């Protein structure tokens, strides 16, 4: 049976039309941000430069794509329709009359839908892993920079140890199917996921020690929510069955957090060593504040600028790492629609077909580019102050 | 200075000891050993046969004694042949000692590759040589281009050249090797047909046709990063008092840049270039797999994929060594280049 095709112009129009929820959301959010940019602080200042606008735009585009993925994509990313094997872009699927906008891959799945669904995986894992890495890095970097001495020596040595590992080797060792049979990933997850709970507990404790009414509410909330998420993620024992993570995703998550927290640690440590010489820290010390109060409520808020910039860059870098994992077929399921796996599958067949390779590569590149542009303009803006 | 280097070398040795211990532990996890036994024995072997294979090849000895044997501080024990009861070689394809001898990494014996059926040294060092050639060409391309871009951009901060080049370098840092590799292959190999999309023939002889794509792919990610660092350092130098003085005494802009700014602006990028090596290492693995070039990265992937314990240990030792030695060189070099820095 012969496939029908639509022209290149129709393909472009079709793609633009499929993204309609994203365009609406983008117009609403960008319009509102423009209108109220004076009141939005650092985020509002981003809209003063073209680089910032482009960066925010690209990041929001992928964010909304991930949110509305099921509306945007015409096909299920995992379903194979045999007749569409290696179909060229614009091929019409005979049964439903819908179009394979970017063609079909070697397993006859819709490349466009896979690209759209791939954004979900990246936009969940990359920011979450970066968040955990920030927590671990901050919680360990603050005392290392503030106290110095032996704590600093030990922690810095450990951080350098992890940093001396080439990333790829680390992943080959930590993200193998075999390691799932050992308790190592769960032990590491148990350790890393403890850090946010400890961080927020200490944060509230130091601030509201003298005000039990607030303290007990905040501490209670931290422990209940933290404990719930902790039970769901590490032991897969969420009583309400809402929080659940596949073992192989947990493995990837842990490996990515492990690989990127020493970097955060080094940055936080350097910032703390710089900031602790300031007058307001000396004033707090004279007032008799506890060391952890000074670290969390005097030093950390003043280190936020570089940390936000670093977080943006780090999300981009984590996206690249996830792609690397997919490219080497580590951790993620072979049929998973994430961009790295798609690039791996397509790059083996570049001699015969190029169309399955381009959408995931361009998607990954544009998302990382958006984050880098965002980070760049954030840095420019925070330098102006 | 000498004591600084000695202390750093001491830390380096300690780091390597810890890291190899960790790698050794992770590679020798029980599931990994089972996988190795399955791949090394015939099909359909029972669990007892797998276990006896592991025992016969010495994989069930005490963990620390095995690590010591690999390191060369514990004499390597030959295994006993179950048929004859006499001491025998662990693997027939390697010249393992038949008597207990000190023969580990410290003595220059990297062990035995189960995947390639040869000694690790005879596999690893040619591969390193091949990667060395690739790295050389990458550096030859990457360093001049990125320094030039950085200097041109940082010369006049905020100008149109600066903004264009900055966005271009951000774009290049946003392009990991597996993305740029695919895009370059599509453009230069599939559409234009100018270059070869595979570097497999490069092991026999390097030509422009088969080697350009890997080098380009590997260089592009680093170019953006080094260019941005150079730009930042150049911008900082251009605001210094002595630049203004030189301008005010009537020197032309070009000669101010070349004679006064350049040398000071190039100190920071030196460190960055040195610290790029660990990143290049990951890139090398991707590029060599993508373009089928038989170098270090290819060997690493093969070793990891087939649970080749000794080869993977050798690879990790080499890569960790490269990371640590470049850190040391960058620190020492920085102190040499910048007269304002003194190390204690």
| Average pLDDT of span A29-49 | 83
| Coil, strand or helix at B279 | helix
How does DSSP assign B43-97, residue by residue?
SS--HHHHHHHHHHTTTTS-HHHHHHHHHTSSPBPPEEPTTT-SEE-SSTTS---
Show the tokens assigned to A36: 């109220």
- Name the residue among A168, A176, A361 with its Cβ closest to that of B282: A168
Strand B79-80 vs strand B87-88: parallel, antiparallel, or unpaired? Answer: antiparallel
Judged by CB atoms closer than 8 Å, whether chains meet at A51 and B285 is answered as no
Residue closest to B65 by CA, chosen among B112, B97, B104: B104
| Average pLDDT of span A172-189 | 83
Residue B62's CB is within 10 A of a number of other CB atoms, namely 10
Please determine, for residue B49, whether its predicted confidence score (pLDDT) is greater than 80.
no
Instruction: Go through B209-225 and write b for each residue having 16 or more CB atoms within 10 A of its CB, e for each that does not.
Output: ebbbbbbbbbbbbbbbb
Of the pLDDT bands very low, low, confident and very high (cuts 50, 70, 90), residue A143 is very high
Q: In this prediction, what percent of chain B has a pLDDT beyond 70?
A: 89
B50 and B323 Cβ atoms separated by less than 8 Å? no
Contact list in B for residue A163 (CB cut-off 8 A) is 323
In this prediction, residue B339 carries a pLDDT of: 66
Of the pLDDT bands very low, low, confident and very high (cuts 50, 70, 90), residue B320 is confident
Show the tokens assigned to A104: 């079909």
Judged by CB atoms closer than 8 Å, whether chains meet at A327 and B178 is answered as yes
Judged by CB atoms closer than 8 Å, whether chains meet at A157 and B185 is answered as no
Among B19, B169, B176, pick the best mutation site for testing chain A contact (most A Cβ within 10 A): B176
Among A55, A105, A153, A172, pick the best mutation site for testing chain B contact (most B Cβ within 10 A): A172
- Name the residue among A320, A328, A357 with its Cβ closest to that of B186: A357
Count of CA atoms in the C-beta half-sphere (13 A) of A384: 10
- The larger pLDDT score, comparing residue B55 to residue A365, is at A365
Among A52, A169, A352, pick the best mutation site for testing chain B contact (most B Cβ within 10 A): A169
Judged by CB atoms closer than 8 Å, whether chains meet at B19 and A164 is answered as yes
Contact list in B for residue A172 (CB cut-off 8 A) is 300-301, 304, 312
User: Rounded CA gap, A291 and A1, in Å?
Assistant: 75
Please determine, for residue A1, whether its predicted confidence score (pLDDT) is greater than 60.
no
Residues in chain A: 385
- The larger pLDDT score, comparing residue B123 to residue A136, is at A136
Return mean pLDDT, chain B: 82
Greatest alpha-carbon pair distance for chain A in Å reads 84
User: Rounded CA gap, A59 and A311, in Å?
Assistant: 14
Q: Which of A370-384, B63-77, B127-141 has the highest mean pLDDT?
A: B127-141
Show the tokens assigned to A219: 């501490």
Contact list in A for residue B176 (CB cut-off 8 A) is 320, 323-324, 364, 368
Give the model confidence (pLDDT) of B88-132 as tens digits: 666 767 766 667 777 777 777 777 777 777 777 788 888 888 888
Which contacts (CB < 8 Å, 24+ apart) does range A61-65 have?
A: A61/A22, A61/A26, A61/A370, A62/A119, A62/A122, A62/A123, A62/A363, A62/A366, A62/A367, A62/A370, A63/A123, A64/A21, A64/A22, A64/A25, A64/A26, A65/A19, A65/A22, A65/A116, A65/A119
CATH superfamily of B120-335: MetI-like (1.10.3720.10)
In this prediction, residue B85 carries a pLDDT of: 66
Residues in chain B: 344
Of the pLDDT bands very low, low, confident and very high (cuts 50, 70, 90), residue B335 is confident
10 Å CB burial of residue A82 (0-12, 13-18, 19+) is: exposed
Judged by CB atoms closer than 8 Å, whether chains meet at B29 and A350 is answered as no
Give the model confidence (pLDDT) of A188-228 as tens digits: 888 988 999 999 999 998 888 888 888 888 889 989 988 88
**What is residue B204's DSSP assignment?**
T
| Average pLDDT of span B285-297 | 88
Of the pLDDT bands very low, low, confident and very high (cuts 50, 70, 90), residue A246 is confident
Judged by CB atoms closer than 8 Å, whether chains meet at A376 and B18 is answered as no
Judged by CB atoms closer than 8 Å, whether chains meet at A368 and B174 is answered as yes
User: Rounded CA gap, B123 and B111, in Å?
Assistant: 11
Among A50, A105, A168, pick the best mutation site for testing chain B contact (most B Cβ within 10 A): A168
Residue with tokens 């969390």: A296
Judged by CB atoms closer than 8 Å, whether chains meet at B282 and A166 is answered as yes
| Coil, strand or helix at A304 | helix
Which run of H or E residues covers position B125? helix B120-155
B25 and A179 Cβ atoms separated by less than 8 Å? no
User: Rounded CA gap, B149 and B227, in Å?
Assistant: 6
- Name the residue among A157, A328, A351 with its Cβ closest to that of B197: A351
Show the tokens assigned to A229: 């998420």
CA distance B7 to chain A (A): 14
CA distance B323 to chain A (A): 6
Of the pLDDT bands very low, low, confident and very high (cuts 50, 70, 90), residue A16 is confident
Show the tokens assigned to A206: 């130091």
How does DSSP assign B209-270, residue by residue?
HHHHHHHHHHHHHHHHHHHHHHHHHHHHHHTSHHHHHHHHTT--HHHIIIIIIHHHHTHHHH
ipTM at complex level? 0.84
* A3-7, A173-177, A222-226, B167-171, range with the lowest pLDDT: A3-7
DSSP E strand stretches across chain A = 4-5, 91-92, 99-100
Of the pLDDT bands very low, low, confident and very high (cuts 50, 70, 90), residue A306 is confident
User: Rounded CA gap, B283 and B300, in Å?
Assistant: 13
**What is residue A296's DSSP assignment?**
I
Of the pLDDT bands very low, low, confident and very high (cuts 50, 70, 90), residue B54 is confident
Which run of H or E residues covers position B119? strand B118-119
Show the tokens assigned to B75: 């004499």
B79 contact partners, CB below 8 Å, separation of at least 6: B56, B57, B58, B87, B88, B89, B90
- Name the residue among B11, B29, B290 with its Cβ closest to that of A178: B29
Give the model confidence (pLDDT) of B26-37 as tens digits: 888 888 788 777
CB contacts < 8 A, A to B, total 127
Question: Structure pTM?
Answer: 0.87
Give the model confidence (pLDDT) of A70-107 as tens digits: 888 888 888 787 777 777 777 777 777 777 878 788 88
Judged by CB atoms closer than 8 Å, whether chains meet at B182 and A346 is answered as yes
10 Å CB burial of residue A229 (0-12, 13-18, 19+) is: middle
A97 contact partners, CB below 8 Å, separation of at least 6: none
Question: In chain A, whose CA is at the least distance from the CA of B186?
Answer: A354
In this prediction, residue A242 carries a pLDDT of: 74
> What is the 3-class SS of B138-197, one letter each residue?
HHHHHHHHHHHHHHHHHHCCCCHHHHHHHHHHHHHHCCCHHHHHHHHHHHHHHHCCCCCC
User: Rounded CA gap, A229 and A28, in Å?
Assistant: 32
B147 contact partners, CB below 8 Å, separation of at least 6: B226, B227, B230, B266, B269
Return mean pLDDT, chain A: 86
**Which bin fits B158, alpha (ψ -120 to 50), beta or left (φ > 0)?**
left
User: Rounded CA gap, A172 and A125, in Å?
Assistant: 19
CA distance B3 to chain A (A): 19
């Amino acid at each position: 049976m012969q496939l029908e095709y639509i022209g290149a112009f129709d393909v472009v129009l079709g793609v633009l039309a499929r993204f309609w929820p994203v365009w609406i959301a983008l117009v609403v959010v960008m319009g509102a941000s423009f209108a109220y940019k004076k009141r939005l602080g650092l985020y509002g200042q981003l809209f003063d430069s073209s680089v910032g606008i482009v960066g925010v735009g690209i990041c929001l585009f992928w964010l909304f794509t991930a949110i509305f993925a099921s509306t945007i994509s015409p096909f299920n990313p995992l379903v194979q329709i045999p007749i569409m094997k290696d179909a060229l872009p614009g091929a019409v699927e005979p049964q439903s009359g819908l179009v394979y906008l970017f063609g079909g891959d070697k397993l006859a799945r819709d490349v466009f839908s896979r690209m759209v669904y791939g954004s979900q995986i990246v936009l969940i894992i990359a920011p979450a892993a970066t968040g955990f890495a920030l927590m671990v890095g901050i919680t360990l970097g603050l005392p290392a920079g503030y106290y110095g001495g032996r704590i600093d020596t030990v922690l810095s040595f450990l951080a350098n140890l992890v940093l001396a590992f080439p990333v790829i080797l680390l992943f080959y060792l930590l993200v193998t199917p075999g390691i799932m049979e050992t308790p190592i990933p769960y032990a590491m997850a148990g350790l890393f996921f403890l850090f946010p709970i400890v961080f927020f507990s200490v944060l509230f404790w130091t601030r509201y020690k003298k005000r039990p009414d607030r303290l007990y509410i905040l501490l209670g909330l931290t422990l209940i929510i933290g404990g719930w998420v902790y039970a769901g993620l590490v032991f897969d024992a969420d009583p309400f069955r809402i929080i659940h993570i596949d073992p192989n995703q947990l493995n990837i998550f842990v490996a990515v957090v492990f690989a990127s927290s020493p970097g955060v640690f080094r940055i936080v440590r350097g910032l703390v060593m710089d900031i602790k010489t300031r007058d307001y820290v000396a004033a707090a010390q004279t007032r008799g504040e506890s060391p952890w109060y000074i670290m969390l409520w005097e030093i950390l808020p003043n280190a936020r600028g570089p940390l936000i910039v670093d977080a943006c860059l780090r999300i981009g870098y984590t996206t690249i790492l996830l792609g690397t994992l997919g490219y080497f077929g580590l951790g993620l399921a072979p049929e998973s629609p994430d961009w790295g796996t798609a690039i791996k599958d397509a790059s083996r067949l570049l001699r015969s077909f190029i169309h399955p390779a381009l959408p995931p590569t361009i998607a990954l590149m544009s998302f990382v580019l958006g984050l880098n542009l965002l980070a760049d303009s954030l840095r420019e803006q925070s330098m102006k102050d | 200075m000498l004591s600084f280097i000695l202390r750093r070398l001491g830390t380096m040795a300690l780091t390597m000891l810890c890291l190899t211990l960790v790698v050794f532990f992770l590679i020798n996890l029980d599931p990994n050993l089972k996988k190795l036994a399955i791949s090394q024995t015939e099909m359909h072997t029972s669990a007892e046969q797998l276990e006896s294979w592991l025992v016969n090849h010495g994989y069930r000895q005490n963990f620390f004694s095995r690590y010591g044997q690999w390191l060369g501080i514990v004499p390597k024990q030959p295994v006993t042949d179950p048929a004859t009861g006499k001491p025998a070689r662990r693997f027939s394809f390697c010249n393992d000692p038949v008597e207990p001898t000190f023969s580990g990494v410290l003595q220059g014996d990297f062990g035995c590759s189960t995947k390639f059926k040869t000694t690790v040294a005879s596999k690893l060092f040619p591969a390193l040589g091949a990667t060395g050639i690739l790295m050389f060409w990458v550096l030859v391309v990457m360093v001049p281009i990125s320094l030039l871009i950085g200097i041109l951009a940082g010369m006049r901060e905020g100008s149109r050249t600066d903004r264009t080049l900055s966005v271009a370098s951000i774009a290049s840092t946003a392009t990991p090797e597996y993305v740029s590799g695919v895009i370059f292959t599509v453009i230069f190999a599939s559409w234009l047909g100018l270059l070869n999309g595979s570097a497999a023939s490069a092991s026999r002889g390097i030509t422009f046709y088969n080697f350009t794509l890997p080098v380009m792919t590997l260089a592009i990610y680093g170019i953006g990063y080094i260019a941005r660092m150079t730009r930042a350092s150049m911008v900082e130098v251009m605001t210094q008092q002595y630049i203004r003085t030189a301008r005010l005494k009537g020197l032309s802009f070009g000669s101010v840049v070349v004679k006064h700014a350049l040398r000071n602006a190039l100190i920071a990028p030196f460190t960055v270039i040195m610290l790029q090596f660990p990143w290049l290492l990951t890139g090398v693995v991707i590029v060599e797999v993508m373009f089928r070039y038989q170098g270090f990265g290819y060997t690493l992937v093969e070793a990891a994929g087939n649970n080749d314990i000794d080869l993977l240990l050798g690879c990790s030792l080499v890569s960790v060594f490269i990371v640590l030695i470049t850190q040391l060189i960058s620190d020492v070099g920085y102190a040499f280049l910048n007269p304002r820095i003194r190390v204690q």
